[in-house]
Structures are given as C-alpha cells and as structure tokens.
Amino acid sequence: MDIALTDEQRRALEQLADKLYQTQPAIAFTGAGISTESGIPDYRGPNGLWSKHNPTKFRDFLRDPEIRRVYWNRRRARYPVLCQARPNVGHLVLARLQQAGLLQEIITQNIDGLHQAAGSPPDSVIELHGTAHEIRCLDCGARWPAADFDPGPPDTIPVCPHCGGIVKEATVSFGEPLDKAELNRALRLAQSSALMLVIGTSLSVYPAAYVPRRALQHGALVAVINNEPTPLDAQATIVVHSSAGAALEYLASLLLAPQSTAFA
C-alpha cells in the first residue's frame, strides 16, 4: 500500500506507537471504515447501504412476511459478494499486533468476519452486531453456518428446518437488542484497558458506541483513527483523520519487524 500520510499524521502515529509499546496490551474497537478497503460499503456514507435500501427493522421483520421475503432476496444477492471480500492491510496489521502481544481483544461492529480471516483468534474478536456468516432461528435458537443453510429459490421465505420458526442471519437488525453477554464482555474489557484504538467508526451507533466512552470514563488512553471527525475526538489522546489501512500500515512499520510489514 502507498502510505499517503501527512507529516502531522505520521507524528501522531509515532506518538501512538510509543504509547502502545509502553501500555501494551491494548484493545481495538473497529467499525465499517476498516472494511471499506476490502470493498464492503459502509452503512451511513454517501455510497452506503442505507442510501440504497431502507434498513430492515426487527419488529417489521417479525410481523410482515413480505418484509421477510425482501430481506431474504437481498441476502441472496449480498452474501456471495461478502464472501468474496478479503482482509485488507488494516485487518492484517491488527492480527499481527495481536501475535506480537501488543494488542489483546478486538471489539467490532462489523459482521463480515474479516478480522478472523486475517488471522485474529476467533475467541479474541467480539462481534457486537453479530455475524453474517451464520443463520439463526428466532424461535428455537438453532444456528447454522451460512454455507450449510439453503435459503431456497428467490422470492421464497425460508423457515427453520427444526421447528418451522422464523430465521434470519445472525446479525443485529434495527430495534433488535445486542447480545447482552457480548456487550457486557466488551464493556468490562473497556473499563479495564489502558489503551483503546478506535478505528474506522463514526461512533454514532448505540449501544456499541458506549464501549469507547466506558474506556475513557475509566481512565484509558483513547486513540481515534477515522476518515471523518467523531464525537470523541476532543477527549481522545491521539486523533488521526486518515484511512484505516494507511494509518495502521505505518503503525506496523514502527512496531513490528520489517518482514512482518510485507502485507499481501
């Protein structure tokens, strides 16, 4: 990757490298901005998914078969594209930082599984908004890898093969509560961390956005890497308005052995 960073951005990342080395291990909190470089559109941007389709509201999904039909048609078209996405340099750097002992858990709002595909241990990735790579029954709780679940032909509405209940991908829809255990785990990590990297997120989706705030409230240093300003910029110790990939690759060049920065 051609690292197009200003001198000011480089100085901020050099300061971050120093803090990360001194206060390891850190934790990371990531959003859609780390995956856009893998060809996955964000949700809120001008080319985001919400600008093209109204998001599915959980209550409407439950009550209206027609909404479920549209949902599954979109899923049939969207999921093969998601499966073709590959981790980019940002995901790879975070995995390498974990391997080097500089980074502990990754808390993500993303549903694409790219952190795990980059080499981050699955049990170290907390997926606050679930995963698109599993299907779950909302009635009996059964779950399947997406590859093992046949949604049937277009314009049909699949049901649970065990109980006949409503099924959807194992992601959190609008109006659907987050998994309480995963959210509590993320909040506990935040309040015990010394340094949190906030990467590629506008911090505008709640309750997930409470996680970095919890870290701040408990005295953690917070570093924000995002293309656009965020609500936490004024309170963060370090702020870099940059793409995630460019910033993280430069950070890796400062912290990791030279051979570790030759990313695919």
Phi/psi of residue 263, nearest 5 degrees: -80, 145
Nearest to 29 by CA among 236, 249, 226, 212: 212
Domain match, 149 and 195 both: no
Instruction: Please provide the average confidence, as pLDDT, over all residues in the chain.
Output: 92
Domain span including residue 113: 1-40+87-129+179-264
Domain match, 151 and 253 both: no
Nearest to 226 by CA among 216, 215, 97, 209: 209
Domain match, 163 and 251 both: no
CATH of the domain at 61: 3.30.1600.10
| pLDDT tens-digit readout, 116-148 | 999 999 999 999 999 999 999 999 999 999 999
Domain match, 113 and 217 both: yes
Q: How far are the Cα atoms of 41, 43, 73, 109, 116 from residue 35, in angstroms, in the given order?
A: 8, 11, 23, 11, 13
Phi/psi of residue 140, nearest 5 degrees: -100, -10
Number of domains present in the structure of the chain: 2
| pLDDT tens-digit readout, 12-61 | 999 999 999 998 789 999 999 999 999 998 765 555 454 456 788 999 99
Please give the structure tokens belonging to residue 185. Answer: 């785990």
For 147, other C-beta atoms within 10 Å of its C-beta total 11
Active site residue 133: no
Choosing from 53, 91, 115, 129, the catalytic residue is: 129
CATH of the domain at 93: 3.40.50.1220
Query: What percentage of the chain reaches a pLDDT higher than 90?
Result: 88
Domain match, 105 and 227 both: yes
Residue 198, beta-bridge partner list: 29, 224
Which secondary-structure segment (H or E) carries 17? Answer: helix 7-22
Among 171, 192, 222, the domain-final residue is 171
What pLDDT, on a 0 to 100 scale, did the predictor assign at position 264?
A: 46
Domain match, 253 and 145 both: no
